[in-house]
């Protein structure tokens, strides 16, 4: 063993040029690989943190009737089953020692109805109690225009991202009621056509809920424009509305319905009172889709307890350090015991593509690393194989004087392993160093695409022991793969190569 | 006792679609402790014969016994083992390991045999002294002359105490004076270590060093004896 490594080491020194080429490749490969691992881990951690703390908590309780767990970000907008027995769920959550806090919410799509456009657009609605929402997700967004709704107020908050989208679609620029145009927040295209810009402070939406419910179109007053601190591109799809308006929009039983026992039919009649908007829809096809006229939201349901009505999901924040598996298991047991027709799922399942995005980016990185490795392995294999053939006479002599094949193979593996340990090791160290240093640079971005890569507003790659171990393992695989073929070639050199033929 | 016993040894080389018969039925016996030379013109089969005896090449037909055991049907591992333990090689091209110094080159086979490092070192030093290289033990092959390298090769060939040392034209790449000293050394070592030496040459001037001479021509051994 010592002999083998001595020869390997001295051959490295003897063929400095080749060793440096292989070393440089190993260094670069190991460095990029480690950094890549760090970036992806940081991204995954960032997304996780932002999603949990700013958007949906750790666990989501959904209706047991819900087929797919993916309720939050299924962009095709399949409607979500209503959760009708929050009254049973609430005490179960309150009694659970694992739960820190929770927030019941409505979530579904709504059709944006507008007189000026040919086809309706869509918006995602999140119906919440604004006061509770702020307690659940403090500081997750900033109100950049208008104000945060007062408790119980009927209002709509539009994220800047959604406002931009609405503008793209309708050419309408939404402003909070009584708000003024803030040029800094305006889209560039809108800024260029300022004189013809259509402004509006209310949105007419009609809930889209699959099947049985009759939905209504509701005119929502825009109370504020918000901007999420991180991942506005994703979270910004969701307009926040007060839960009662949400329910009316979706045709769910509102808390007011529950307390007043108003029948659905009566309610439909009521909602016709506002009247007159039918004329706005010139197209025949829309008339069928919008049978009821929108009306101003009234304050009539204020007195009722919102908890009485229908939701779509309950977002749950767990106490720190509670493992998801355990939480899901225990919460499901508690829900069952309470007789609630609901189940608990983890955020990454509920977030669907968002939850698997880290997996997708991981896979992308994996492919990148694989390509990197392939190139590295090919170059190393070439260089070493050539080295083996150049040393054929020397290797043949070793075989002639009694070295077995594994000894010759070991010599080449030894050379690669030493180069790998020295240069690859240095590459990993440099990668770790880079990962540790980058957060100190405090690179931050408001660019939405970059935020996705950063997993938040600050670029903070991160490596745990697992990440470093992974890098070492990957390096080991490269080493063995790169050495395998040259080893075979070298071991295949016969002692006859030692003999000079005339 | 015969250390080498060869019967009806044949070796064919495939050359394209034809076959080149390099050895065409060689019978040869070499007694323990002999200092024997195989002489023949270029292409007569000397190298081929030594290669087969040295387990470097395989016979096409016939029998080769080294120290009583048949070597023609062994696998690579076993044959390598015989090379390590029973045979020493001296090559025409002074083949040494370039990254090892003189002592390390000499002790190389001992380390392959997993002998303790200290013991191997001691034995290598002794042989380095015997071949007159005590002052050069820390030199690498590139820093030595051809004659000095061949002395290292002799020491390495002898270090394991093999049954036979085979040398294929060991002086062909040396000037005549150096070549003569190498042959002197080999004969000396043959006397000191009692090791059997078989070396080949195409140079009749070298023959005076041999105690027994075997002539080979067109792959066949000519009638013996030709006393030296
Ligand atoms: N690898 C080979 N392939 C084909 N023919 C070979 C090979 N090696 C040797 N020969 C032929 O075998 C014969 C004997 O060669 P060799 O043993 O090298 O003779 P010597 O060492 O006496 O010069 C020659 O005719 C040579 O051309
Ligand atoms: Mg020859």
The per-residue pLDDT for range A253-277, each reduced to its tens digit, is 777 666 655 445 555 554 544 443 4
> Residue A228 has what pLDDT?
87
Mean pLDDT score of chain A, rounded to an integer? 82
For residue B21 and ligand 1, the question of a CB distance below 6 A is answered with no
Contact A401 B77 (CB under 8 A): no
Q: What is the pLDDT of residues A342-399, one digit of tens each?
A: 999 998 888 877 667 777 877 887 888 888 888 889 988 998 899 899 999 999 999 9
> Residue A115 has what pLDDT?
64
> Residue B78 has what pLDDT?
94
Q: Residue A23: pLDDT band by 50, 70, 90 thresholds? A: very high
Query: Closest residue (by CA) to atom 25 of ligand 1?
Result: B43
Give the Å distance between the CA of A362 and the centre of ligand 2: 61
Bridge partners, residue A102, by sequence: A316
Decide if B126 contacts B158 (C-beta within 8 A).
no
For residue B201 and ligand 1, the question of a CB distance below 6 A is answered with no
Q: Residue A286: pLDDT band by 50, 70, 90 thresholds? A: very low
Decide if B124 contacts B113 (C-beta within 8 A).
no
β-strands A59-63, A342-346: how paired?
antiparallel
> Residue A287 has what pLDDT?
37
Contact B113 A402 (CB under 8 A): yes
Test site for ligand 1: of B43, B172, B198, most ligand atoms within 8 A of the Cβ: B43
> Residue A293 has what pLDDT?
40
Q: Is the pLDDT of residue A214 over 70?
A: no
Contact A499 B91 (CB under 8 A): yes
Q: Residue A184: pLDDT band by 50, 70, 90 thresholds? A: confident
* Domain residue ranges in chain B: 2-221
Q: What is the pLDDT of residues A80-102, one digit of tens each?
A: 888 888 989 999 999 999 999 99
Helix (H) or strand (E) holding B37: strand B35-39
Which CATH number does the domain B2-221 belong to among 1.10.10.410, 2.40.50.140, 3.40.50.300, 1.10.10.10? 3.40.50.300
* Domain residue ranges in chain A: 2-49+357-501, 65-263+304-340
Q: What is the ipTM of this complex?
A: 0.93
More confident residue, B48 or A190: B48
> Residue A335 has what pLDDT?
92
For B201, the token pair is 């040459």
Q: Is A80 exposed, middle or buried (0-12, 13-18, 19+ CB in 10 A)?
A: buried
β-strands B164-168, B196-201: how paired?
parallel
Bridge partners, residue A57, by sequence: A316
Q: Closest to A7 (Cβ–Cβ): which among B80, B97, B156?
A: B97
Residues B208 and B217: their CA atoms lie apart, in Å, by: 20
Residues of chain B predicted below pLDDT 70: 224-228
Test site for ligand 1: of B45, B51, B167, most ligand atoms within 8 A of the Cβ: B45
Q: Is the pLDDT of residue A298 over 70?
A: no
B93 and A CB contact within 8 Å: yes
β-strands B35-39, B212-217: how paired?
parallel
First to last CA, chain A: 36
> Residue A500 has what pLDDT?
63
Q: What's chain B's length in residues? A: 228
What are the chain A neighbours of B83 within 8 Å (beta carbons)?
A: 400-402, 495
Q: What is the mean pLDDT of residues A408-425?
A: 92
Decide if A471 contacts A431 (C-beta within 8 A).
yes
Is this structure's pTM higher than 0.90?
A: no
> Residue A46 has what pLDDT?
81
Q: Closest to A394 (Cβ–Cβ): which among B80, B85, B98?
A: B98
Residues A156 and A383: their CA atoms lie apart, in Å, by: 66
Q: Is the pLDDT of residue A328 over 90?
A: yes
Q: Is the pLDDT of residue A168 over 90?
A: no
């Amino acid at each position: 063993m010592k002999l083998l490594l001595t020869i390997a080491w001295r051959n490295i020194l003897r063929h400095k040029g080749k060793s440096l080429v292989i070393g440089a490749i190993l260094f670069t490969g190991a460095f990029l690989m480690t950094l890549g691992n760090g970036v992806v881990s940081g991204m995954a951690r960032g997304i996780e943190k932002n999603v949990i703390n700013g958007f949906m908590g750790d666990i989501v309780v959904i209706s047991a009737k819900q087929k797919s767990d993916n309720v939050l970000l299924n962009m095709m907008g399949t409607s979500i089953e209503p959760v009708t027995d929050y009254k049973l769920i609430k005490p179960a959550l309150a009694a659970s020692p694992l739960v820190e806090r929770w927030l019941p919410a409505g979530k579904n799509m709504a059709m944006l109805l507008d007189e000026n456009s040919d086809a309706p657009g869509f918006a995602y609605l999140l119906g919440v109690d604004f006061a509770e929402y702020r307690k659940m997700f403090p500081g997750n967004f900033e109100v950049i225009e208008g104000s945060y709704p007062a408790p119980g107020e009927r209002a709509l908050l539009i994220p800047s991202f959604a406002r931009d989208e609405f503008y793209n679609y309708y050419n309408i620029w939404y402003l909070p009621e009584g708000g003024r145009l803030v040029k800094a927040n305006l889209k560039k295209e809108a800024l260029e056509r300022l004189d013809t810009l259509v402004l509006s402070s209310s949105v007419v939406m009609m809930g889209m809920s699959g099947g049985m419910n009759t939905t209504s179109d509701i005119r929502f007053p825009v109370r504020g424009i918000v901007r999420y601190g991180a991942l506005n591109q994703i979270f910004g799809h969701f307009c926040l509305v007060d839960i009662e308006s949400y329910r009316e929009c979706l045709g769910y039983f509102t808390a007011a319905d529950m307390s007043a026992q108003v029948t659905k039919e009566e309610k439909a009649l009521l909602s016709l009172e506002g009247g007159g908007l039918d004329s706005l829809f010139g197209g025949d096809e829309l008339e069928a889709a919008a049978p009821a006229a929108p009306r101003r939201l009234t304050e009539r349901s204020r007195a009722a307890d919102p908890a009485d009505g229908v939701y779509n999901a309950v977002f749950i924040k767990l106490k720190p350090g509670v493992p998801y598996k355990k939480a899901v298991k225990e919460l499901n047991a508690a829900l069952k015991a309470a007789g609630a027709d609901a189940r608990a799922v983890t955020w990454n399942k509920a977030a669907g593509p968002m939850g698997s995005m880290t997996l997708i980016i991981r896979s992308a990185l994996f492919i990148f690393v694989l390509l990197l490795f392939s190139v590295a392995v090919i170059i190393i294999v070439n260089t070493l194989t050539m080295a083996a053939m150049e040393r054929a006479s020397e290797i043949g002599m070793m075989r002639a004087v009694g070295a077995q094949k594994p000894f010759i193979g070991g010599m080449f593996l030894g050379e690669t392993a030493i180069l790998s340990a020295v240069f690859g090791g240095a590459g990993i160290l440099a990668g770790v160093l880079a990962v540790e240093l980058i957060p100190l640079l405090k690179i931050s971005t408001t660019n939405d695409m970059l935020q996705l890569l950063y997993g938040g507003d600050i670029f903070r790659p991160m490596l745990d022991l697992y990440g470093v171990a992974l890098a070492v393992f990957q390096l080991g695989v490269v080493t063995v793969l790169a050495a395998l073929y040259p080893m075979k070639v070298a071991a295949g050199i016969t002692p006859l190569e030692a003999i000079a033929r005339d | 006792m015969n250390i080498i016993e060869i019967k009806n040894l044949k070796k064919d080389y495939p050359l394209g679609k034809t076959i080149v018969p390099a050895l065409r039925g060689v019978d040869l016996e070499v007694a323990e402790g002999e200092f024997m030379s195989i002489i023949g013109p270029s292409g007569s089969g000397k190298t081929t014969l030594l290669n087969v005896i040295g387990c470097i090449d395989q016979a096409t037909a016939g029998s080769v016994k080294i120290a009583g055991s048949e070597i023609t049907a062994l696998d690579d591992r076993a044959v390598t083992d015989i090379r390590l333990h029973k045979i020493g090689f001296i090559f025409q091209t002074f083949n040494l390991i370039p990254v090892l110094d003189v002592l390390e080159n000499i002790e190389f086979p001992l380390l392959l045999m997993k002998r303790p490092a200290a013991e191997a070192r001691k034995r290598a030093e002794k042989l380095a002294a015997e071949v007159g290289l005590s002052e050069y033990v820390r030199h690498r092959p590139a820093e030595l002359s051809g004659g000095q390298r061949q002395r290292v090769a002799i020491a390495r060939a002898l270090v394991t105490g093999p049954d036979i040392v085979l040398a294929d034209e060991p002086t062909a790449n040396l000037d005549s004076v150096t070549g003569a000293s190498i042959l002197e050394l080999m004969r000396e070592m043959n006397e000191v270590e009692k090791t059997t030496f078989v070396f080949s040459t195409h140079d009749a001037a070298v023959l005076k060093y041999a105690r027994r001479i075997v002539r080979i021509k067109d792959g066949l051994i000519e009638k013996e004896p030709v006393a030296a």
